A and B are shown apart, each in its own frame.
Chain A
Amino acid sequence: MATVEVAFTPLPAHVRTARLIATAVARRSGVDESVLDEVRLAVGEACSRAVEAHRVHCPQQPIRVALTGDGERFEVVVTDAAPAVEPVPAGAARPASDTVIDGLAVIAGLADDVRIGAAGPGTSISMSWKQRVPPA
């Protein structure tokens, strides 16, 4: 069972909330302070990606974030319900004139371990980091 579970409607404003919660739970779980920025950015990337996909395919469905610290690793799983179709059509959430930076590549550069899998109709992105100090 996850330490904390969050579900939010797919609005860009809520991505910041998800980032703040992830950072707070990571800190509480004993993730090293030097890694908290990586957790914050990676969770933000995964949630941003999910929000954009939901806004196109299923704006009524919530995005789910599960955060677990088991004493050795801190894991965050972001699960969306949108069909696993990449990329999000241009013009849907971002103007076609914008360059799309691959958020998954950013996540891969930040987390110690990343796994991407199917979750029902959608996708789950699992990211984890080593816990370097015992949880408070």
Chain B
Amino acid sequence: MDLKLGHYEKDGIEVVDVEGEIDVYTAPRLRELLIDLVNKKNYQLVVNMEKVEFLDSTGLGVLVGGLKRVRAHDGSLDLVCTQERILKIFRITGLTKVFGIHNSVDEAIAERKADR
């Protein structure tokens, strides 16, 4: 399956919906979207990965790149993911300590708002 991307604003936070496979072929599209959102001054991001079927190290690099970009503006990039197959690569690479990983979009937004 290819990659489908969408985004919407909720409670002042931009939610990015990702569906499909994030790999060396499709990751550039996610990178472009994250860069575009940051360029439009969206510095509070939640990336919903509940419909992601595959994620490799290229995709991880794009997510870390997005995190660095929003943090440069004192922003945040949280993830929503409950799939064990996707969480495993975050654990292998130690990135569970870098990202806030949540069970739902609502939970991610609530915790981010509580931190404000």
Contact = CB atoms under 8 A, between A and B. Distances in A.
Interface in B49-89: 54, 56-58, 60-62, 64-65, 68-69, 85, 88-89
Given A40-B54, A44-B56, A101-B64, A13 B93 contact: no
Interface of A: 12-13, 15-16, 19, 37, 40-41, 44-45, 48, 51-52, 93-95, 97-103, 105-106, 109-110
Interface stretch (B7-15, B17-25, B40-48, B103-111): B17-25
A109 to B, nearest CB: 4
A19 B54 CA distance: 11
Given A16-B21, A48-B24, A95-B31, A41 B56 contact: yes
A106 B61 contact: no
Contacts, number: 69
Nearest to A47: B24
13 contacts: A19-B23, A95-B31, A95-B65, A97-B65, A97-B69, A99-B61, A99-B68, A100-B61, A101-B93, A105-B92, A105-B93, A106-B57, A106-B89
A109 B93 CA distance: 9
Contact of B57 (A51, A93, A102): A102
Given A95-B65, A99-B65, 20 more contacts: A16-B25, A19-B23, A19-B54, A37-B88, A41-B89, A45-B56, A48-B58, A52-B24, A94-B58, A95-B31, A97-B65, A97-B68, A98-B62, A99-B61, A99-B64, A101-B93, A102-B57, A103-B57, A105-B92, A106-B93
Contacts of A41: 54, 56, 89
